[in-house]
Amino acid sequence: MVHNLSLKSSLLNQFIAEIRDVNIQKDSLRFRKNMERIGEIFAYEISKTLDYETTSTQTPLGIAESKQLILQPVIATILRAGLPLHNGLLNYFDQAQNAFISAFRKHNKDDSFEINIEYVASPNLNDKVLIFCDPMIASGSSMILTYKELIKKGQPKHTHFVCAIASEDGINYLKNNMPNSDYTIWCGAIDAELNSQSYIIPGLGDAGDLAFGNKL
């Protein structure tokens, strides 16, 4: 299932517009904060799909019953661009375990690129709910490659893929190449086009550079 939250009117659309805006992008603090806010919105939406149990809480005046999350998810992201989005998710799932993958594109002279993975740190994922976030799902190849590295740490019972902006090609690539069927895709917006370097058009540019500064 694919959830495109831009199809409904909400504050999310304002935050998506701001992370795209070339003038607002000059303020890296605001860019990071908007990504964090987007992560918080996704966390709230995903929380509606999880399992709960009824618990009792002692108040100063009596006992209150409420629904509490049975099992916290594992939140994973790709360094470095995914950190603000990850932090937004973690603000809500504040007891979650976390996983981090160091991966980057190595571009070739013919505009092709390879995904190099240098580092994976993850808890055991067996029977856990995994939330795997990255600001962009462009071609989808890096998401699938890093996901396959992650599941060497165990098989999640369900995976939620989260991105601020995806391309239609990237969504289709995920659907056609996922190694299992227990997943949901959450997008802030879905754009129609990829350029020759697999950047989303209109997209927003390089999320890592916008959040943390240009790299060599």
Evaluate whether 12 touches 6 at the Cβ level (below 8 Å). Answer: yes
- DSSP β-bridge partners for residue 22: none
Sequence-distant (6+) residues with CB within 8 A of 44 are: 92
For the 2-212 domain, the top CATH level (class) is: alpha beta
- DSSP per-residue string spanning 50-97: S-EEEEEEEETTEEEEEEEESSPPEEEEEETTTHHHHHHHHHHSTT-E
Q: State residue 214's pLDDT score.
A: 87
Query: Under a CB-based contact definition with an 8 Å cutoff, are residues 161 and 184 in contact?
Result: yes
What tokens does 187 get? 């997008």
User: Among 59-63, 78-82, 164-168, which stretch is predicted with the lowest mean pLDDT?
Assistant: 78-82
pLDDT score at 111: 63
Percent of the chain predicted with pLDDT > 90: 83
Percent above pLDDT 70 for the chain: 95
